[in-house]
Amino acid sequence: MPIAQPPSRDAAVEAQVFWLRFQKEIAAALIVLIVAAVGFAAYRFYINRRNSTAAELLGRAKNPHDYQEVITRYPATPAGASAYLLLAETQRNDKKFAESNATLQLFVDKYPEHDFVPTARLAMAANLESMGKTDEALSIYQQVAVKYANTYNGPLALISEVPLLKAKNRIEDARRVCEEILTKYRMPGPQTEGTRDDRMETIWAGEAMRQLRSLKPPERPKPVPGAASLPAKPPEPSVRDPVGKQPVPISDPGAPISDPGAKRVALNSTEPIASDRASGSLELATAEDFLRGKKRPRDSALAAKFLWKAVSKENTTAILLLSDLYLAGDGVPKSCDQARLLLKAAARKNVPGAGGKLRDLLVSGCP
């Protein structure tokens, strides 16, 4: 028996029927979408306009009153967050260490996820040092070193512990911190098991080596009274140079010794670098060749390694160039925090252009 064919339906007729049945609902949904799009666009325009106005106001700020005005008028903007840091720095420069710490604590409480929170914590520790509260400062350094071990602030916190530990005569603890830096914070090169260590030394490893040389060597066991003969003199304790050179005696009188009373590492020094110390020219030239890509294939990652080598020799041009790589994420992980620390180090050494770049970064935020 033949099967009857279902009646055919015209698609256009069905569409018209659907529209007639649901036209109110469809129109309402379209109106909601249009209103939401307009509202979102207006909100984005307002946010961008407010951030731009706040950045302009911060750029004109010159004193604590101006910074406080930015904080009060634009509290939820990037410029408002930067104003806390600039205000705290101004207060520190005026020797108002307690007020500076109060400002930094407000910043940490209000912006707990901000990239500059570990930097603010380190600044608080430095203020506590200036007030003579070394135990509290040491505690903050230790917390930052553990919590932010994988950032630029981890090794900075560790190396800042060393002068405090030396002042407390905790020589073994200071030695342990230096050895931890040498173990964890070195720029690795190609490694093959059984070959010599050819990892490139970072600025932290270089500073740790200098601090190790300034520490007292471990006490040797005293000879037993009445022994038939004096024991042979034990070999001079040494530390393996992280770049694969010969062992360097800890008590080598000819080795460069950093000031045991120094309160900051080389990055925080306010003295300009003398021309005879600003070496690293060969490493800088090699890095620039890799970045230009004219004489050899461009390799920004390898250029960054040579720049770190030049920075460890306190080459100021390399500091600026390396900060640009971190800002752009070119050959290195993008990190405005590391770029800011490098620019701050260059600005403290009166490197031309460093102060302007640092201020632009604080005002405009991370690109």
Cα angle, residue 211 at apex, residues 333 and 340 outer, rounded to 5°: 30
339 lies in which domain range?
273-367
Counting the structural domains of the chain, the total is 1
- pLDDT tens figures, 75-107: 888 888 888 989 999 999 999 999 999 999 999
* pLDDT confidence band for 127 (50 / 70 / 90): very high
**What pLDDT is attached to residue 186?**
67
Confidence of residue 272 (pLDDT cuts 50, 70, 90): very low
Assigned domain for 204 exists: no
- Higher-pLDDT residue of 75 and 191 is 75
Q: What percent of the chain has pLDDT over 90?
A: 13
Residue pLDDT, tens place only, 304-346: 888 887 877 778 888 888 888 888 888 888 888 788 878 887 7
pLDDT of residue 317: 83
Residue 145 lies in a domain: no
Measured distance CA(144)–CA(151) in Å, rounded = 10
Q: Say if 116 falls within a structural domain.
A: no
Query: Per-residue pLDDT for 257 more than 70?
Result: no
Quick one: three-class SS letters along the chain? CCCCCCCCCCHHHHHHHHHHHHHHHHHHHHHHHHHHHHHHHHHHHHHHHHHHHHHHHHHHCCCHHHHHHHHHHCCCCHHHHHHHHHHHHHHHHCCCHHHHHHHHHHHHHHCCCCCCHHHHHHHHHHHHHHCCCHHHHHHHHHHHHHHCCCCCHHHHHHHHHHHHHHHCCCHHHHHHHHHHHHHHCCECCCCCCCCCCCCECCHHHHHHHHHHHHCCCCCCCCCCCCCCCCCCCCCCCEECCCCCCCCEECCCCCCCCCCCCCCCCHHHCCCCCCCCCCCCHHHHHHHHHHHHCCCCCCCHHHHHHHHHHHHHCCCHHHHHHHHHHHHHCCCCCCCHHHHHHHHHHHHHCCCCCHHHHHHHHHHHCCC
The verdict on residue 28 lying in a domain is: no
* 203 assigned to some structural domain: no
Report the pLDDT value the prediction gives residue 222, as an integer from 0 to 100. Answer: 55
Position 357 in a domain: yes
Average pLDDT (209-229) is 63
Confidence check: pLDDT of 233 > 90: no
**Residue at 332 is within a domain:** yes
Which CATH number does the domain housing residue 346 bear? 1.25.40.10
Q: Cα separation of 362 and 79, whole Å?
A: 8
Residue 97 lies in a domain: no
The token duo for 49 is 């306009």
Banded model confidence at residue 192, pLDDT cuts 50, 70, 90? very low
Predicted local distance difference test score (pLDDT) of residue 153: 86
pLDDT bin (cut points 50, 70, 90) of residue 187 is low
pLDDT in tens, 150-164: 888 888 899 899 999
pLDDT-based confidence at residue 139 (cuts at 50, 70, 90):
very high
- Closest listed residue to residue 242, CA positions, set 215, 203, 290: 203
Q: How far apart are CA 247 and CA 239, in angstroms?
A: 6
Q: For position 141, what pLDDT does the model report? A: 93
How far apart (Å, rounded) are the C-alpha atoms in residues 65 and 273?
A: 34
Of the two residues 334 and 236, the one the predictor is more confident about is 334
Lowest mean pLDDT among 137-146, 156-165, 261-270, 338-347: 261-270
The pLDDT assigned to 259 comes to: 38
pLDDT at 216: 65
pLDDT in tens, 25-57: 888 888 998 999 888 888 888 788 888 888 888
Q: What is the pLDDT of residue 245?
A: 40
Provide the whole-model pTM: 0.55
Q: Which pLDDT does position 190 carry in this prediction?
A: 45
260 has a pLDDT exceeding 80:
no
